[in-house]
Structure formats: C-alpha cells, structure tokens
C-alpha cells in the first residue's frame, strides 16, 4: 500500500515569508551585472547608488516620510538596537530613563537590559488582558529624566495592535521633549502607516516579513532626532550605519513594499474574514479553547489560541 504524501501547509507568516517572484527577479541583476559598490564614483558604483536611493524613496513614500529619514540596516534586530541604544547614548545628558512595554520583541527587551548595565533606568509597562498598553499607565511612568519610549505597534505573538497615535499624544503632552519609537515589523505593509499622523520619531520594519529577502530592514529616524551610530567606518547611510550596502536585498525589499502596499487593503479584508471565521469555529467547537490577544484590535493575519490541558508540542 502506497503511503499518501501529506501536503505541507505553512501558517507561520509572522515568522517569515517566501520571497515574492517579482522581488527575486528585481534583485538578480544586482548580484552579477550591477554589482557595484555604492561608494564608488565610477559608473558601476553610481548605478548601484541610484538603485539604493530609488529604493529609499519607495519606502519613504509609503511611510509619508522624507527620503533622508530612512536608514537601511541588515535586520530589524539591528534597527531596534540602533533605535534604543543609539538614541539613549546620544541623549544621555538630557536624561537616563527609558520606557518600553512588557510585551516587546526580545531585541528590545535585551537592549533595555544592556542599557541598564550602562547606567540607564528602564521601566517596563504592564499590559491589560488583551496585551494593550494603557495611555494612563504610560503617562504615569514618564519622568523629567525620560528621553525615550518604545512600544511595539503590533504584537508578533498575539497580534494586538497598540493605539500608537494616542500613546504618542499622551506621552508628548506629559513631556514635549521625548522621543517615541515603535517596532512596526509585524504591521508594516499590513496596516496603513503615516509617520507624521502617528507623531512618532523612530520606526522599525523588516523585509522578510513582507515577501522580501532576509538581510534587509530599515529604521525611520525623524529629521532632528539625535542618534549615535553603533557601527563606525566608511560613513554609509548618512553616517549612521557604516558598512558596504547590500544593494540586492534592499532592491528586493523595495519591490516587496510596492507589491504588498498595492494589495494591502484588499488582502487585509480577505485575511480578516478568514481569521474571524477560524476564530469563531475554534471557540465554538473545541472545548477549553480561548483566544489570546484583542478580539477586534488585532492584525488581519494573526490568530493565537490557548487550549487548556494540552501541551503545545502535541498540537
């Protein structure tokens, strides 16, 4: 009897996504034909430089940001480290207090621990049963020494979307001279983002979460924000991220942004319908099941359940 081959179903798009064929096709010439170094003054280098700046412009456009406010990095982890450590170190004379939430990605949590070792004070805000940070809790935590707040836009685990615009307004009402960073790795290209409307100063996003290649991310840094580079060398990326620029993956990233933003509204509605259907069926038909995260204020592509008396590995 022939054994039936089981079809694999991948449901972990919050972890990573496959590279879109269009993004891959766009990248390929920059590996073998247009392979110049962006710092080179001759034609091959300037060709790569043009591709880099066009990619920067594409991403800035979709954030309603200025081109020069986009700094490319190698990963969201690097961007988040630069946002926290770079901002804290550059503004140490103004204060030594930083606020993060208790449900941040590990790279934010670990950066907070590192900063504590350097003498900074870090407050970790609690969240409610749905994973939401309460504006009143944020306001209470802000002191005269507070220089930076970092709160994730949408949880990578439970999908809860934070009211970033409200949180920014509350924070800056309490203290005008305070920077606000948000990790938008899960929300970028899934939710509309206007950095000016949100009022944020720094934002992180990553390529491989939106059908782009691994090895590319960016940090939006609002004009006027003081930040100390973590890498020193040739002065690439406006002096904030020295290293030979990885043009192929950045080109692929920009192409993925174009693709995902074009279908974002329609795809978001489709995924939300599927999400809500699955949630209703599971909660109705599987005993001892419960939904983690906010029932309404959640990413269209995220579902997170708990099942009482069942080990995760067995599921």
The 10s digit of each residue's pLDDT in 34-74 is 999 999 999 999 999 999 999 999 999 999 999 999 999 99
Quick one: pLDDT band at residue 173, thresholds 50, 70, 90? very high
Its CATH architecture, for the domain 26-259, is: 3-Layer(aba) Sandwich (3.40)
- Reply yes or no on whether the pLDDT at 1 is more than 70: no
- Reply yes or no on whether the pLDDT at 299 is more than 70: yes
* Token pair 């990095």: residue: 73
Residue 119 exposed, middle or buried by CB count within 10 Å (0-12, 13-18, 19+)? exposed
**Mean pLDDT computed over 180-194:** 98
* Angle ∠(162,241,197) on CA atoms, nearest 5: 30
- Reply yes or no on whether the pLDDT at 2 is more than 80: no
The 10s digit of each residue's pLDDT in 213-237 is 999 999 999 999 999 999 999 999 9
CATH number assigned to the domain with residue range 264-314, chosen from the 4 options 3.90.1150.10, 3.40.190.10, 3.40.1080.10, 3.40.50.10190: 3.90.1150.10
- Domain locations in the chain? 26-259, 264-314
DSSP for residue 65: -
CA 25, CA 274: separation in Å to the nearest integer? 30
Q: Phi/psi zone of residue 95: left (φ > 0), alpha (ψ -120 to 50 degrees), beta?
A: left
DSSP for residue 160: B
CA 39, CA 273: separation in Å to the nearest integer? 48
Quick one: pLDDT band at residue 4, thresholds 50, 70, 90? confident
Q: Supply the pTM of this predicted model.
A: 0.95
Could you give the percent of the chain with pLDDT greater than 90? 95
Residue 101 belongs to what H/E stretch?
strand 97-101
């Amino acid at each position: 009897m022939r054994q039936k081959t089981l079809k694999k179903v991948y449901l972990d798009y919050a972890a990573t996504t496959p590279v879109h064929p269009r993004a891959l096709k766009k990248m390929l010439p920059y590996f073998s034909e247009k392979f110049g170094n962006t710092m080179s003054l001759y034609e091959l280098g300037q060709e790569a430089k043009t591709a880099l700046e066009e990619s920067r412009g594409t991403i800035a456009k979709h954030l309603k940001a200025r081109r020069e406010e986009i700094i490319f990095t190698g990963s969201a982890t690097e961007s988040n480290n630069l946002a926290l450590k770079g901002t804290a170190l550059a503004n140490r004379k103004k204060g030594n207090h930083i606020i993060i939430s208790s449900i941040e990605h590990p790279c934010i949590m670990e950066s907070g621990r590192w900063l504590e070792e350097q003498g900074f004070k870090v407050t970790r805000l609690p969240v409610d049963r749905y994973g939401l940070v309460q504006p009143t809790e944020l306001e209470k935590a802000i002191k005269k020494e507070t220089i930076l707040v970092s709160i994730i836009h949408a949880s990578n685990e439970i999908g809860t979307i934070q009211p970033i615009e409200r949180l920014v307004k509350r924070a800056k009402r309490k203290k005008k001279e305070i920077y606000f960073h948000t990790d938008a790795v899960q929300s970028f290209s899934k939710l509309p983002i206007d950095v000016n409307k949100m009022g944020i100063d720094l934002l992180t996003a990553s390529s491989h979460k939106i059908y782009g290649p691994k090895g590319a991310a960016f940090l939006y840094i609002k004009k006027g924000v003081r930040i100390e580079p973590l890498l020193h060398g040739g002065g690439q990326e406006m002096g904030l991220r020295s290293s030979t620029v990885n043009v192929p993956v950045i080109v692929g990233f920009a192409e993925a942004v174009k693709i995902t933003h074009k279908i974002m509204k329609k795809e978001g509605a489709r995924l939300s319908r599927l999400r809500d259907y699955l949630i209703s069926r599971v909660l109705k038909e599987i005993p001892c099941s419960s939904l983690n995260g906010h029932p309404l204020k959640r990413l269209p592509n995220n579902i997170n359940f708990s099942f009482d008396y069942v080990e995760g590995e067995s599921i």
